[in-house]
Amino acid sequence: MDFDWPRISRWGLLFTVVMTAWLLAPVAQCGFKAFKDTPLDEETPSADQNHVAKGRGFFDEVGHDTKLCYAKTPLLDQGWKSDVFMVCAGGTLVAWALGKLQRRR
């Protein structure tokens, strides 16, 4: 049986990208919530005092909150979804290597 390894590699790459987006979706949602909850204007005195006390600006605050969100749901620690991601990524690499080998012959 002759497999089309480059095509299998492309499909594996597509599934890897989709799985990456799926695994990072909770981080994006949490980070966007932190973005919405952090005030942009400097006219709110309580928010300014909070930022000054922490010594961070708007982007530092949002970045820190996003890092905390990622710590809650890391990319490679989400159970079976992380396993599927690793299988897709590994399958992509194997299929790509076999496609290269097939083209050389």
Q: In this structure, is residue 95 part of a structural domain?
A: yes
Whether 67 is in a domain gets the answer yes
Is the CB of residue 5 less than 8 Å from the CB of residue 102? yes
Closest to 62 in 3D by CA, of 30, 29, 38, 28:
38
Supply the range of the domain harboring residue 61: 9-104
Higher pLDDT, 20 or 41: 20
Number of domains in the chain: 1
Asked if residue 4 is part of any domain, the answer here is no
Is residue 1 domain-resident? no
Per-residue confidence band for 38, with pLDDT thresholds at 50, 70 and 90: confident
* 72 occurs within a structural domain: yes
- Please report where in the chains the tokens 């194997």 appear, as a residue: 94
In a domain, 24, yes or no: yes
Is residue 34 assigned to a domain? yes
| pLDDT of the residue at 87 | 97
In whole angstroms, give the CA distance from residue 14 to residue 62.
30
Per-residue pLDDT tens over the stretch 24-37: 999 999 988 888 88
Q: CB within 8 A of 34, min separation 6: which ones?
A: 61, 62, 65, 66, 69
Q: Which of 67, 54, 61, 65 shows the shortest CA–CA distance to 39?
A: 61
The pLDDT tens digits of the residues spanning 47-68 come to 555 555 566 677 788 888 889 9
| Predicted pLDDT at 21 | 96
Residue 2, domain member (yes or no)? no
